[in-house]
Amino acid sequence: MKTRTVLVVGGCLLMAYAVVGALTDTDLTPGGVLLFLAAVLVVHDVVWMAAVLAVGVALTRVPSRYRPTIRAAVITVAAVTVVGLPLALGFGRAADNTSVLPLPYGRNLVAVLLAVAATTLLVCVVRRRQAVRNPKDPPSGAR
C-alpha cells in the first residue's frame, strides 16, 4: 500500500509540473494541445485497444500448451516494433547529417523480429516433443 501511495503522489506531482509548465509556456497553443490529446485518446482507445482485444481473442484459439509462449512473443514483438519502427522509417533523419540515425534500423528490426519468431517456434517445438513423450502430463497452462 505504501508503494502505491508513493507512486500516486509521484504521478500527481509530475502531472502538476506538466500543467504548470504548459500554462507558463508562451509558445504553447491550448488548441494544439487539446487536438494532440484528443488524437492520443482516439488512437489509444479506438485503434490500440481494438488491436489488443483482437489479438487476445485470436490467442484463445491457440492450444493452451503454446499460449504462454505465443503471448510472450506477441508482447515482445509489439514492444520492439513500437520502439524500432520510428527509427526504421527514418523519422528525424536529416539528409545533410549522416550521424543522425546512421544504422540500418529496418534490417535490424526485421532481424530482431525473426529472432523472436525463431525462438518462439523452437520453444513450441520443444513443448510439442515433451507432450508426445509424456502424454499423461497435462499441457502447461491448462486449468
Q: Is residue 80 pLDDT above 60, yes or no? A: yes
> Tens of pLDDT along 26-74?
888 888 888 998 999 999 899 989 999 999 999 999 999 999 999 999 9
Percent of the chain with pLDDT over 90: 64
pLDDT of 50-62, one tens digit each?
999 999 999 999 9
Average pLDDT, the chain: 90
**82: pLDDT strictly greater than 70:** yes
Q: Which residue has the higher pLDDT, 103 or 113?
A: 113
Q: How far apart are CA 76 and CA 51, in angstroms?
A: 15
- Provide the residue ranges of all domains of the chain, joining segments of one domain with +: 63-143
Treating both helix axes as pointing N-terminal to C-terminal, what angle do 67-89 and 49-59 enclose, rounded to 10 degrees? Answer: 150
Residue with cell 508503494: 3
Q: What is the pLDDT, as a whole number, of residue 140?
A: 58
pLDDT band (50, 70, 90) for residue 139: low
* Total Cβ atoms within 10 A of residue 13: 10
